[in-house]
Structures are given as structure tokens and as C-alpha cells.
């Protein structure tokens, strides 16, 4: 029997520290969800340049 996946609305959400938009959990973030702070590579790179 196959496991049912949770609905997107039931997945955890966070808010991006750069753009302020909400983003949902992704499978590739399963091991490091606590450390995820940015919604995308673009925001992550933007945060680096903003700090400098």
C-alpha cells in the first residue's frame, strides 16, 4: 500500500528573511529545515551582497 502525501496546505511554512514572502517545506530540505532561511538561491545571494 502506498503512503499518501500530505497536502501542500499541511506542510510547514517559513518566511524568507530577505524578501519576506512565505515558502513551504521541500523534500530536499528534510534534513536541514531548521537552518533554511531563504526561499531561493536568488534571495540567498542577495543577502550576501546586502551584508557587504
Query: Each residue of 5-27: pLDDT tens digit?
Result: 888 888 999 999 999 999 999 99
Instruction: Bin 12: left if φ > 0, else alpha if -120 < ψ < 50, else beta.
Output: beta
Residue-level pLDDT at 13? 95
Return the residue matching grid coordinates 550576501: 48
The Cα-based distances of 30 to 15, 25, 33, 52 in angstroms read 17, 8, 6, 30
Return the residue matching grid coordinates 543577502: 47
Measured between alpha carbons, how far is 4 from 39 in angstroms, rounded to an integer?
26
- pLDDT (tens digit per residue) in 24-49: 999 999 999 999 999 999 999 988 77
Q: Does residue 14 sit in helix, strand or coil?
A: strand
pTM: 0.74
Residue-level pLDDT at 51? 65
Amino acid at each position: 500500500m502506498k503512503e499518501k502525501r500530505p497536502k501542500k496546505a499541511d506542510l510547514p511554512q517559513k518566511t524568507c528573511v530577505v524578501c519576506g514572502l512565505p515558502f513551504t517545506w521541500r523534500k530536499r530540505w528534510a534534513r536541514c529545515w531548521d537552518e533554511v532561511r531563504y526561499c531561493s538561491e536568488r534571495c540567498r545571494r542577495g543577502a550576501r551582497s546586502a551584508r557587504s
